[in-house]
Amino acid sequence: MESNEIKIHTEFIKLQDLLKFAGAVETGGDAKLIIQEGRVTVNGEVCTMRGKKLRPGDRAAIDGETELVVT
């Protein structure tokens, strides 16, 4: 699994914004679609909430292939 660290300078980042910021998706619509399809996990659990707040230490993965680690 490919792992990428994503550094944020705020308290949290919303899941859909993380996917866009990391370049995992091109648009917010793409992020919404893959999240609603259940293709994204947060800390090992399927997450269908695009507004889910991720904080440093949280991990998101897409299709079990690309992992984004919030730092």
Give the per-residue pLDDT at 46: 98
The parent domain of residue 66 ranges over 2-70
What does the pLDDT profile of the chain (71 residues) look like in tens digits? 778 899 999 999 999 999 999 999 999 999 999 999 999 999 999 999 999 999 999 999 999 888 999 99
Give the per-residue pLDDT at 26: 94
Give the per-residue pLDDT at 1: 72
Which CATH number fits the domain that encloses residue 27?
3.10.290.10
Total of domains in the chain: 1
CA atoms of 60 and 32, how far apart (whole Å): 14
CB 60 within 8 A of CB 42: yes
Give the per-residue pLDDT at 66: 86
The count of other CB atoms within 10 Å of the CB of residue 35 is: 24
